Amino acid sequence: MAKKIKRIAKLEFMAMKAKPGAELASLGINMPQFTQQFNDATKERAGEVVPVIITAYDDKSFDFILKTAPTAFKIKQLLNIQKGAQKSGTEVVATISQSQIKEIAEYKLPDLNTDNIEAAMRIVEGTAKNMGVKIEGKEEVSK
């Protein structure tokens, strides 16, 4: 007989730094067991934000799926910037090349709702633009 799902939660933790807390307590799972499994599974992703989907069952057991780091995090990491623009329409914090956009799009492809690299690149470009990052080779469209 299949286990009864109690709750599904989407959370983000730094790789190797998950610890018991309110987010996990609300799921009613074995927190030390989850944190150890999560931290072991994210060893090679040190310093990265790791989204995770946790399925909690009635018997306090759980399953989890690791996702790719958020696009904004990857852009900041690749361009070595601390944060995006406060006014993305007028302020530019960095410039990103098409090859860098393609690199991020290829990384994010498994978690995006497309399998087309050009569509994935447009998604990454949209995130970059919203962060105030200028896209090399693209003219800004005035409103």
pLDDT tens string 81-110: 999 888 877 888 999 999 999 999 999 999
State residue 88's pLDDT score: 77
Alpha helix positions (H), the chain: 22-25, 31-41, 71-79, 98-108, 117-130
Tokens of residue 125, six digits:
């470009």
80 to 54, 73, 95, 105: CA distances (angstroms): 30, 10, 11, 18
Residue 143 has pLDDT above 60, yes or no: no
Taking the C-alpha atoms of residue 62 and residue 5, their distance in angstroms, rounded to an integer, is 9
Tell me the average pLDDT across 70-81.
Answer: 94
Is residue 34 within 8 Å of 21, Cβ to Cβ? Answer: no
Q: What is the mean pLDDT of the chain?
A: 91
Tell me the average pLDDT across 104-127.
Answer: 95
Phi, psi for 4 (deg, rounded to 5): -90, 125
Length of the chain: 143
Residue in this structure with the two tokens 């989407």, named with its chain if needed: 10
Residue 142 has pLDDT above 70, yes or no: no
Residue 37 has pLDDT above 50, yes or no: yes
List domains and CATH numbers for the chain. Answer: 5-66 (3.30.1550.10), 71-135 (1.10.10.250)
pLDDT bracket for residue 1 (50, 70, 90): low
